[in-house]
Structure 1
Amino acid sequence: MTEKDDKLLLVTLNAIPGLGPRKIQKLAMRFKNYKTFLEAKREDFLEINGVGEIICEKILEYRSKFDPYKEIKKANNLNIKVITLKDDKYPFLLKEIYDPPPVLYFKGTAPLSPHSIAIVGSRKASAYGKNVAAKFARELAAVDINIVSGMARGIDSCAHKGALEANGFTIAVLGCGIDIVYPPENTGLMKDIVESGCVISSFPLGTPPQGANFPARNRIISGLSLGTLVVEAAKKSGSLITADFSLEQGREVFAVPGSIFNPYSSGTHKLIKQGAKLVENVEDILDELYLENLPESIASSGKANKPDLTCEEKGILDIIDYQPTYIEEIISLSHKTPGSINILLTHLELKGYISALGGGYFAKI
Structure 2
Amino acid sequence: MPQSAFTPVSPAELEARLRLHRLPELGAARFKKLLEAFGSASKAISAPASAWRALGLPLACAEARRCADVRDGASHALAWLERPAQHLLMWDQPDYPALLAQISDAPPLLFVAGNREILEKPQLAMVGSRRASRPGMDTAAAFSRSLASAGFVITSGLALGIDAAAHQAALDVGGQTIGVLGTGLENFYPQRNRRLADAMIASGSTVLSEFPLDAGPTASNFPRRNRIISGLSLGVLVVEASVASGSLITARLAAEQGREVYAIPGSIHHPGAKGCHQLIRDGAVLVETIEHILEALRGWQQLPLSTGTPATAVPHPLLSLLHAAPLTSEALADASGWALPKVLVVLTELEMEGCAVCENGRWFARVS
- Does residue 55 of structure 2 align to residue 43 of structure 1? no
Residue 155 of structure 1, aligned match among 148, 153, 162: 162
1:35 Cα offset (Å): 3.6
Please give the residue correspondences for 1:133-212 in structure 2 after superposition, counting only pairs within 5 Å.
133-194=140-201, 195-212=203-220
1:151 Cα offset (Å): 0.6
Partner Cα distance (2:307, 2:151) in 1? 8
- Does residue 300 of structure 2 align to residue 284 of structure 1? no
1:138 Cα offset (Å): 0.4
Matching residue of 2:113: 107
Partner Cα distance (1:61, 1:248) in 2? 38
Residue 282 of structure 2, aligned match among 274, 289, 298: 274
| Consecutive unaligned residues in structure 1, runs of 5 or more | 297-365
Q: For residues 206 and 53 of structure 1, do their structure 2 counterparts lie closer, same or farther at Cα, with a shift above 3 Å needed?
A: closer
- Does residue 100 of structure 2 align to residue 94 of structure 1? yes
1:215 Cα offset (Å): 1.6
Give the AA of the match of 1:118. A
Matching residue of 1:219: 227
What do residues 190-245 of structure 1 show as CA deviations (whole Å, max 9, x unaligned)? 11111231001001111111211112211100000000000111111110110011
Matching residue of 1:125: 132
Give the AA of the match of 1:156. D
1:88 Cα offset (Å): 2.6
1:58 Cα offset (Å): 4.2
Partner Cα distance (1:58, 1:215) in 2? 26
Residue 71 of structure 1, aligned match among 69, 74, 77: 77
1:24 Cα offset (Å): 0.2
After alignment, is 14-23 or 98-107 more displaced? Answer: 14-23
Q: For residues 87 and 262 of structure 1, do their structure 2 counterparts lie closer, same or farther at Cα, with a shift above 3 Å needed?
A: same
- Give the structure-1-normalised TM-score: 0.76
Matching residue of 2:90: 84
Give the conservation status (yes or no) of the 8 Å contact 1:148–1:221: yes
Partner Cα distance (1:77, 1:53) in 2? 35
Give the AA of the match of 2:305. N
1:268 Cα offset (Å): 0.7
**Moved >6 Å (runs of 4+):** none
1:2 Cα offset (Å): 4.9
1:19 Cα offset (Å): 1.4
Partner Cα distance (2:138, 2:52) in 1? 52
1:74 Cα offset (Å): 2.5
1:61 Cα offset (Å): 4.5
What do residues 76-101 of structure 1 show as CA deviations (whole Å, max 9, x unaligned)? 33742112013332111111111210
RMSD across aligned positions (CA): 2.1
Partner Cα distance (2:52, 2:220) in 1? 25
Partner Cα distance (2:15, 2:39) in 1? 11
1:20 Cα offset (Å): 1.1
After alignment, is 157-166 or 177-186 more displaced? Answer: 177-186
SS in 2 for 1:82: strand
Matching residue of 2:239: 231
Give the conservation status (yes or no) of the 8 Å contact 2:264–2:287: yes
Matching residue of 2:248: 240
Partner Cα distance (1:167, 1:277) in 2? 27
What do residues 320-347 of structure 1 show as CA deviations (whole Å, max 9, x unaligned)? xxxxxxxxxxxxxxxxxxxxxxxxxxxx
SS in 2 for 1:196: coil
Give the AA of the match of 1:192. A
| Consecutive unaligned residues in structure 2, runs of 5 or more | 1-6, 309-368
Partner Cα distance (1:187, 1:66) in 2? 26
Give the AA of the match of 2:183. C
Give the AA of the match of 2:108. P
Give the length in aligned residue pairs.
295
Partner Cα distance (1:295, 1:191) in 2? 35
Partner Cα distance (2:144, 2:9) in 1? 37
Give the conservation status (yes or no) of the 8 Å contact 1:146–1:169: yes
SS in 1 for 2:220: helix
Query: Percent identity over the alignment?
Result: 39
Q: For residues 115 and 248 of structure 1, do their structure 2 counterparts lie closer, same or farther at Cα, with a shift above 3 Å needed?
A: same
Give the AA of the match of 2:237. L
SS in 2 for 1:267: helix
1:55 Cα offset (Å): 4.0
